[in-house]
Copies of this chain bind each other. A is one copy, B any other.
Amino acid sequence: MEEKLLRILAEDVGQGDITTELTVPEGRMAEAEVIAKEDGVVAGIEEAKVLLESLGLNVEALTADGEVVKAKQTLLKIHGDAKTILAAERTLLNLLSRMSGIATTTRNLVKKIQKAGLKTKVACTRKTAPGLLYFDKKAVLIGGGDTHRLHLDDMVLIKDNHIAIVGSVEEAVKRAKEGCSFSKKIEVEVTTIEEALTAARVGADIIMLDNFSPTQIKEAVKQLERTGFYGKILLEASGGITAENILEYASTGVDIVSLGEITDSAKTLDISLEIVKLQK
């Protein structure tokens, strides 16, 4: 993680922060505060510490990942070389703002479901900002969501395009079961109730009901109950789910609801950095 963070910083800084080089004296020490400008759930504190400490700065975290914070609340105190603080400022804030924004959105969805007395998990998808899969998904986790697959080798997930190439759900699952290690789960994305029943019958561990309406999902659940599969495999609803309609989907009997918008159209949480003290 440290390597990723330093690479992001390096790209951001380019060949040096000339403003700071030119204006701030060598060896000037400063204290800075990172402050939330609006309410939300904080995420990225661990990353912030790794980043800042790897640059030789002292960091005191006044909050922890997952905590609910109020506007004007101080999240971190940073102490060290003023030049270094200024060079890292934007990278630090971009990271914290995005991760906290995602965690805040996730938590709101999770709370909504819990308040409705449901146990359905809220999962994200692989629709993230390019290259930010790790940070985006970690923010979802901090917000109380399920990260789903982090990498393409995490589990077998047979999607529409795989089925299109292979020819049928049966054949795709058969190939997966024959070739894959006993240590992996197999999920199948289906678009009809018939496919869902087939997937269950040929041994999928998880079934993703893709772009099903809540009514269609309920029908699928009913037929899986009738055939004895319900409760033995996991069911995931995906496609078309938003903050507005999430309860409708979550109450259909599925184990997981997943949404792309948590991570791919994330709104940042407004966070800023202020130099609060200077030392000679």
Which residues of chain A have a CB within 8 Å of any CB of chain B? Answer: 4, 7-8, 11-24, 28, 30, 32, 82, 86-87, 89-91, 93-95, 97-98, 101, 121, 123, 126-135, 146-159, 161-162, 164-166, 172, 175-176, 178-185, 187, 206, 234, 236, 255-256, 264-268, 273-275, 278
Residues in chain B near residue A274, CB distance under 8 A:
161
| Top 3 closest pairs, chain A to chain B, by CB | A14-B151, A17-B152, A8-B131
The interface residues of chain B lying within 8 Å CB-to-CB of A146 are 181-182
In the complex, A263→B127 CA distance in Å?
Answer: 17
A23-B176, A126-B90, A165-B24 given; A155·B131 CB < 8 A: no
With both chains docked as a complex, state the minimum distance between the C-beta of A79 and any C-beta of chain B, in angstroms: 14
Distance A49 CA – B90 CA, assembled complex (angstroms):
28
Interfacial chain B residues near A86, Cβ < 8 Å: 161-162
Q: Given A152-B14, A185-B183: A19 and B130 within 8 A (CB)?
A: no
A93, B30: Cα distance in complex, Å = 35
Query: Contact at B158–A23, with CB atoms within 8 Å?
Result: yes
In the complex with contacts A183-B185, A274-B161, A18-B87 CB distance below 8 A:
no
- Using known A-B contacts A28-B165, A127-B97, A152-B13, determine if residue A184 contacts B18 with beta carbons closer than 8 Å: yes
The chain B residue sitting closest to A32, CB to CB, is B161
A165 with B132, Cβ < 8 A, contacts A152-B14, A179-B22, A183-B148 known: no
B234:A182 contact, CB within 8 angstroms: yes
Q: How far is the CA of A279 from the CA of B172 in the complex (A)?
A: 18
Which residues of the partner chain B approach A178 to less than 8 Å between Cβ atoms?
22
Oligomer: number of copies: 6
Q: Which residue of B lies closest to A15 (CB)?
A: B153
Residues of chain B lying within 8 A (CB to CB) of residue A255: 182
Given contacts A11-B133, A148-B181, 14 further A-B contacts (CB under 8 A): A14-B151, A15-B153, A17-B152, A18-B152, A18-B184, A20-B152, A23-B175, A23-B176, A24-B165, A28-B165, A94-B130, A97-B264, A146-B182, A264-B268
Residue of chain B at shortest CB distance from A17 = B152
Closest to A93 in B: B127
* Distance (whole angstroms) from the CB of A99 to the closest CB of chain B: 9
A205 (CB) vs chain B CBs: closest residue:
B185
Question: What are the residues of chain B within 8 A of A268 when measuring CB–CB?
Answer: 127, 264-265
Known: A87-B152, A129-B132, A181-B148. A19 touches B265 (CB 8 A): no
Q: How far, in whole Å, are A278 and B164 apart by their CA atoms in the complex? A: 9
CB distance from A225 to the nearest CB of B (A): 19
Query: Who on chain B is nearest to A234 by CB?
Result: B182
